[in-house]
Amino acid sequence: MKVVALASDHVGLPLKEALKAHLEARGLAWRDFGTDSAERCDYPRFAYAAVQAVIEGACGCAVLCCGTGAGMAIAANKIPGIRCVVCSEGYTAALSRAHNDANMLALGARVVGPGLAAQIVDRFLDTPYEGGRHQRRLDLIREIELTGLLDGGEGG
C-alpha cells in the first residue's frame, strides 16, 4: 500500500490534520512532513520535503495543504517528475490521475472544507492512470521538463 506524504503551511495545518483522520479511517498510511505548528511559516519548505519523499519513492503520492493550494503546487512543480494539481472538486482530481498521472494533490484550506477535501482526496487516491494515448502527452511534458524545449525547439 502506498504511503501518502502530507505537508502544509500554518494555514493548511487544520485541513491536513482532518485529512490524517480521514486516511486513518480508510486504513491508509501517511507521513507528515510538517509544519506542525500554527506559527507563520514558508510553504515551499514543506512542499519540498514532501516532493523529496515522492521522488525518492518513500511515499507514493502527496497531499499538500496551504491557503489556496496554489503556492504549494507551484513550488512542487519546479521539480522534474512532479505533477501536482490544485483541485477544489473531485472531477478534476480523478481526471488528473486518469489522464495526467498526477502524483501530488494541492488543496486550499481557505477554499474547501474538510468534508469536500476528503472526497477530493478519495477521488485522487482511488483513480488509476489510464496510460495509452495519455502517455505520449506525458512524454512531451517530460521533454519540456528535461530540456526546456519541445521537438528540439521547433514547436508543434
92 annotated to bind ligand: no
Among 15, 47, 50, 68, binds ligand RB5 (CB under 6 A): 68
Nearer to ligand RB5 (CB atom), residue 8 or residue 103: 8
113 has binding-site annotation? no
Q: Which of 23, 47, 71, 103 binds ligand RB5 (CB under 6 A)?
A: 71
User: Does residue 67 touch ligand RB5 according to CB under 6 A?
Assistant: yes
* Active-site residue, 22 included: no
Contact 105, 84 (CB under 8 A): yes
CA distance 96 to 67: 21
* Residue count of the chain: 156
Query: Which string of x and - marks every residue 23-62 that binds ligand RB5 (by CB under 6 A)?
Result: --------------------x-------------------
Least separation, in Å, of the C-beta of 43 and ligand RB5?
A: 5
Beta-strand pair 61-66/104-108: parallel
- DSSP class per residue in 61-92: EEEEEESSSHHHHHHHTTSTT--EEE-SSHHH
Does the annotation place 35 within a ligand binding site?
Answer: no
Q: Is 59 a catalytic residue?
A: no
Answer yes or no: is 69 a known binding residue: yes
Strands (E), 12-140: 30-32, 61-66, 84-86, 104-108
Gap between the Cα atoms of 129 and 127, Å rounded: 7
Residue among 4, 5, 6, 11 that touches ligand RB5 (CB under 6 A): 11
Residues annotated as catalytic (active site), given as ranges: 66, 99
